[in-house]
Amino acid sequence: MKSTEAGTGRSLSAGSRLQMAYRVFKGAFFFGRKGLVIWDSWEMWVMQIFITPIAQMGFFAFLSVYLRYPLSETQFIVIGNALQAMSFSAVFAVANITSQDKWQGTLPSTMVTPANRVALFIGRAWFQVLLSALIAAAGLLYAATIFGVSFANADYLGIAAVVMLTAIAMTTFGLLISAVGLYMRTALIVANVFLFVTLLLSGVNFPVSVLPGWLQPVSWAIPLTYGTEAVREAIAGTSLLGLLPLLGWEALDALLVMVAGYAVFAGFESLARRTGRFEEY
Amino acid sequence: MVTMDEVTPGKMTEGYLAKRVQVLKASAFLTSKLFFADPQWLIPNIIAPFIFTLVAFFLFQGQTSGPDFLLYLVLGSGLMGMWGTTIYASANSIGFDRWNGTMESTLAAPMPLSWIALGRVLFNTLQGVLTAVFILVIGLAWFRTGFAIVNPPAFLLASVATFLSLSFFGLLMTTVLLLSRKGGFITNSMEIPVYIATGTMFPVILLPIVYLPFSFLLAPTWGIDAIRLAALPGYVGLPTTYWEDIAIMVVETVAYMALAFFLFRRVEAYAKRIGTLEEY
Amino acid sequence: MQTLEVKPADGGPAKWAVSVTGLTREYVTRNFFGGASKKTWALSGVDFQVAPGELFGLIGPNGAGKTTTIKILTTLLTPTGGEAKVFGLDVKKDLYEIRRRIGIVFGGERGLYNRVSAVDNLRYFSDLYGVDPSVARKRIPELLEVVGLADRAGEKVEKYSRGMKQRLHIAKALVHDPELIFLDEPTIGLDPAGARDIRNMVTELKRQGKTILLTTHYMFEAEELCQRIAVISKGKIVALDTPSELKNLVRDVSVIELRTYGATNEYVEALKTLPEVGRVTADLDSEVQDIRIQTPLGADLLSKVVAALPPGAKMIDRTIKEPTLEDAYLRLVEE
């Protein structure tokens, strides 16, 4: 379908298309913050930034202490869980966007707008990217203060790069899941499962190499797997330059996920238009 | 065609207890019907504890082996499943009526809300038991381990007592949710902390001392210890004996029960004062 | 204001089914920090009585206090002041006794479990009300037949139409065989046929001797069903009488109904300036326009109305009518 200026029927130039996409993005950015009811309460912030990360880090750290693992293993677990803590905001909350659209019955009205879809959904997800990065940073702070992980040799620039890239990459994963969720009655189940699957598959609590061989490719499809490895290296002192190969793979992975998400979404939109149903899935 | 005049005249059930048992049964039955009409919420309740168990398994694998550890692990995950389901489902027991628009109809009934809620919570806890059994069976199959229990009757008693104690804890959680619209987040954020505090996967003795009072106030902490004492040979847990565990759990559960019924009265009085519970 | 004289069948002393004296209710809206920020009076001194077996209507604009009154009488809300009694029982003290003897029909979509069947809903509520299970087993299918849902009783309620849901609401209110039934806007959002079904049921319940307290937005409905009507406005009862007596309040006016072609807004404004013209309402949006003029002059005004028509406009039809309950109502709530 060709984009046309409303009312004139005239095709848009590339420049004004971009401008319009920007406007949609800007509008959606603020919607992303305001529209998500779950971020409306301060309790939710407390829970996501303090309670859940600390509790989860504590659970697995205590378990490793109980099993008499050496300190280095416990720290491995603590750092992994610190980064994984962002999954809720990056994956679950992002998937929640489409779910809420469906519940509130606003999906058709979103779908009938000529707004650029990519701009719309990425605009909504941006807030989650920032929040995810913040949560991971908070997790690393707990690792240093509560769980005694040493940051003496840490390369902070490297850590910042890993956290930011992982937040973006995991949010694209959230978008993919929300696109898949369009076909189902709710995306939240998938998102919920995914929230926990990363604990097992993404090198959060033990290296990927421990997993059965057939599972390992799945691990490397999830951006977080690169992130946990890279953040541990950065804390151990590897410079940003040294991290580049890992980060490059993570970026490539995120790009593939994004393309897949867009394809799924476009497919759904055309299916929904053919059948005239938006809300039954 | 029946006309209004031909409808059988109404007759009420007699007796204080009979009326309450009737409400309990009706509420539990409706909850089960609603659950089976839309069982998708079972998935997160099973997935989270099960993945926690798998992670624990990989961690256990590196350090130790033997059927006792596997049984310890599988029992722990079952208990996490039971906990998770109870907390989650209690959160939704009466909360469900709030967003379903049936809060007024429920409040208008000539029966205390606590009994209606208790019926729901009982079914939800039962669902928690099913979750636990499900996880147990999968766990046993996955790890290819047997299920030899040291003292089956004691195991059964401890399990039933833990079931009841979870139910009344769930009832208490329901009041929290009725009093605050954001109670859902409170119960959500409690999930992992209670897994830790009640010693589902590792003994609570490992925890920092400030955490212990919270641990000891949670009746299931004692229930889990009693269950492990009855199931695992040579298990060393809390410094209490099996019967001491059971006794402390009973006392704490009675306290939960009293507090829950008290809070329910307050909730109902509050609802009447403001005219609704739908908005909160 | 006139109160209805109650003549009990046995000649004994009159006992009210509902009796409300000086009823007040205040809402306090709390601000973020929990402090009281705003007080509003939803009811400021309401008095009325409903006789056993009477069909009593409560009408008024949104926010006038209808729902607050119903909530207090159904024991869902405590009054701030005054007294409300149902069968002589205090709504503040004898909750459960009152609840057992009343049925409530909430209007709108709310109040049912949509994911289960009609039978499941009725069984649940009959247990909640403590109906003897052996009696309930007979009563539930009979009630479903009465409300015309017997053949779809096993279906999930979410598949029901609005009208069917509302009929189920009525069955639900009747499971425990109450003596007094509250109907809060029972026909809201229904199509004409669905609304008629509900009105027929209400008439049938009345014939059976049930006491009914009904709120509605539709004046013709109140006029058709109710024996007495209380008009409530801004938390007070502004009139209470039989429908015909209420209409007498506007006896002094008649209504000229015009159907015109080409009438403009200026014309309507001009009509309002004519001597002795009361309310003028007009629908100017379509090809032909319907205009209603209240005036004590009746036919005498017609010539002036026709003379004022703008050039090119035509009078298609004109009638002079008796005022309706709606005219009386509008005058009452706008005073």
Tell me which of C320 and C12 has the higher pLDDT: C320
Contact C133/B106, CB-based, under 8 Å?
A: no
pLDDT at A31 over 50: no
B214 half-sphere exposure, CB direction, 13 A CA radius: 14
Which pLDDT band, with edges at 50, 70 and 90, does C316 fall under? confident
Query: Among residues B126, B164, B129, B138, which one has the least CA distance to residue B53?
Result: B138
- Distance of alpha carbon B123 from alpha carbon B121, whole angstroms: 5
pLDDT at A188 over 80: no
Is A216 an interface residue toward B (CB < 8 Å)? no
- Distance of alpha carbon A140 from alpha carbon A159, whole angstroms: 10
Best of B4, B20, B24, B25 to disrupt the C interface by mutation (most C CBs within 10 Å)? B4
- Distance of alpha carbon A154 from alpha carbon A239, whole angstroms: 9
Which pLDDT band, with edges at 50, 70 and 90, does A20 fall under? low
A208 touches A123 (CB < 8 A): no
Q: Strand, helix or coil at B267? A: helix
ipTM: 0.84
pLDDT at C179 over 70: yes
pLDDT at C142 over 90: yes
Partner-chain residue, chosen from C74, C114, C138, that has the shortest CB–CB distance to B8: C138
Q: Which residues pair with C24 in a beta bridge?
A: C44, C81
Helix B219-231, helix B67-93: angle, nearest 10: 150
| Structure confidence by residue, pLDDT tens digits, B173-226 | 888 777 766 666 677 778 888 889 999 888 888 888 888 999 999 999 999 999
Is C20 an interface residue toward B (CB < 8 Å)? no
Is A69 an interface residue toward B (CB < 8 Å)? yes
- Distance of alpha carbon A80 from alpha carbon A229, whole angstroms: 8
Is B52 an interface residue toward A (CB < 8 Å)? yes
Cα-flanking dihedrals φ and ψ of residue C175, to 5°?
-55, -35
pLDDT at B259: 94
CB atoms within 10 A of CB C310: 12
Which pLDDT band, with edges at 50, 70 and 90, does A101 fall under? low
pLDDT at B20: 92
Query: Among residues B275, B70, B94, B64, which one has the least CA distance to residue B173?
Result: B94
Q: Which of A26-35, A200-209, C176-185, C202-211 has the lowest mean pLDDT?
A: A26-35
pLDDT at A117: 63
C170 touches C146 (CB < 8 A): no
Q: Tell me the domains of chain C and their CATH numbers.
A: 18-248 (3.40.50.300), 254-334 (3.30.70.260)
What is the token pair recorded at B178? 């009725």
CA distance B133 to chain C (A): 27
Q: Which residues pair with C256 in a beta bridge?
A: C293, C320
Query: Among residues A130, A147, A127, A152, which one has the least CA distance to residue A237?
Result: A152
Q: Write the DSSP assignment of A49-98 as a string of letters.
A: IIIHHHHHHHHHHHHHHHTT--HHHHHHHHHHHHHHTTHIIIIIHHHHHH
Cα-flanking dihedrals φ and ψ of residue A122, to 5°?
-70, -40
Count A/B contacts: CB-CB distance under 8 Å: 89
- Distance of alpha carbon C281 from alpha carbon C148, whole angstroms: 40
Partner-chain residue, chosen from B5, B10, B105, that has the shortest CB–CB distance to C135: B10
Tell me which of A184 and B201 has the higher pLDDT: B201
pLDDT at B139: 74
Contact B59/A52, CB-based, under 8 Å?
A: no
Is B29 an interface residue toward A (CB < 8 Å)? no
Q: Count of H helices and E strands in chain C?
A: 11, 14
- With a cut of 70, list the residues of chain B below it in pLDDT: 1, 39-46, 64-67, 91, 146, 180-185, 275-280
| Structure confidence by residue, pLDDT tens digits, C241-252 | 999 888 888 777
CB atoms within 10 A of CB A272: 19
Q: Name A85's Cβ contacts closer than 8 Å, sequence gap at least 6.
A: A52, A53, A56, A57, A135, A136, A138, A139
User: Most distant CA pair in chain B: distance in Å?
Assistant: 76
Q: Which of A29-38, A43-52, A135-144 has the lowest mean pLDDT?
A: A29-38
Tell me which of A212 and A37 has the higher pLDDT: A212
Cα-flanking dihedrals φ and ψ of residue C82, to 5°?
85, -170
| Structure confidence by residue, pLDDT tens digits, A58-90 | 999 999 998 888 999 899 999 999 999 998 888
Is B38 an interface residue toward A (CB < 8 Å)? no
Q: In chain B, whose CA is at the least distance from the CA of C80?
A: B273
Residues 40-69 of C with CB under 8 A from B: 68
Average confidence (pLDDT) over C75-91 = 92
When mean pLDDT is compared over A112-116, A191-195, B194-198, C104-108, the highest value belongs to B194-198
- Distance of alpha carbon C141 from alpha carbon B1, whole angstroms: 11
pLDDT at C206: 93
CA distance C144 to chain B (A): 9
Is B255 an interface residue toward A (CB < 8 Å)? no
Place of tokens 């029901």: C160
Neighbours of chain B (3+ CB pairs under 8 A): A, C
pLDDT at A5: 40
Is A100 an interface residue toward B (CB < 8 Å)? no
pLDDT at B49: 75
Contact C76/B108, CB-based, under 8 Å?
A: yes
Partner-chain residue, chosen from C99, C111, C135, that has the shortest CB–CB distance to B104: C111
CA dihedral (B123, B126, B128, B131) positive or negative: negative
CA distance B167 to chain C (A): 21
- By CB atoms closer than 10 A (0-12, 13-18, 19+), residue C9 is exposed
pLDDT at A8: 41
Contact A59/B63, CB-based, under 8 Å?
A: no
Q: Which of A179-193, A258-272, C166-180, C215-229 has the lowest mean pLDDT?
A: A179-193
CB atoms within 10 A of CB C38: 9
∠ at Cα A222 (B54, A196), nearest 5°?
35
Q: What is the mean pLDDT of chain A?
A: 79
Residues 10-49 of A with CB under 8 A from B: 41, 43-44, 46-47
Q: What is the mean pLDDT of chain C?
A: 86
- Distance of alpha carbon A19 from alpha carbon A16, whole angstroms: 5
- DSSP classification of residue C252: T
Tell me which amino acid residue C181 is.
Answer: I
- DSSP classification of residue B239: S
Contact A43/B40, CB-based, under 8 Å?
A: no
B178 touches B277 (CB < 8 A): yes
Tell me which amino acid residue A39 is.
Answer: W
Place of tokens 């401890």: B158
pLDDT at B26: 94
| Structure confidence by residue, pLDDT tens digits, A135-182 | 999 999 999 999 999 999 999 999 999 999 999 999 888 888 877 777
| Structure confidence by residue, pLDDT tens digits, A221-269 | 999 999 999 999 999 999 999 999 999 999 999 999 988 988 887 887 7
Is C38 an interface residue toward B (CB < 8 Å)? no
- Distance of alpha carbon A24 from alpha carbon A115, whole angstroms: 6
Contact C104/B34, CB-based, under 8 Å?
A: no
C216 touches C313 (CB < 8 A): no
Which residues in chain B have their CB less than 8 angstroms from residue C95's CB?
A: 110
Instruction: State how far the alpha carbon of C64 is from the alpha carbons of B246, C60, C233, C238, in Å.
Output: 58, 6, 5, 11
- Cβ-based interface (< 8 Å): residues of B facing C: 1-13, 19, 22-23, 25-27, 29-30, 33-34, 37-38, 100-102, 104-111, 116, 271-273, 275-276
pLDDT at A39: 52
Contact B10/C175, CB-based, under 8 Å?
A: yes
| Structure confidence by residue, pLDDT tens digits, C18-46 | 999 999 998 876 655 555 567 788 899 99
Q: In chain B, whose CA is at the least distance from the CA of A70?
A: B63
pLDDT at A108 over 50: yes
Query: Among residues A207, A200, A143, A137, which one has the least CA distance to residue A167?
Result: A137
CA distance A29 to chain B (A): 25
- DSSP classification of residue B206: G
| Structure confidence by residue, pLDDT tens digits, C40-57 | 888 999 999 999 999 999
Query: What percent of chain A has a predicted confidence (pLDDT) above 90?
Result: 38
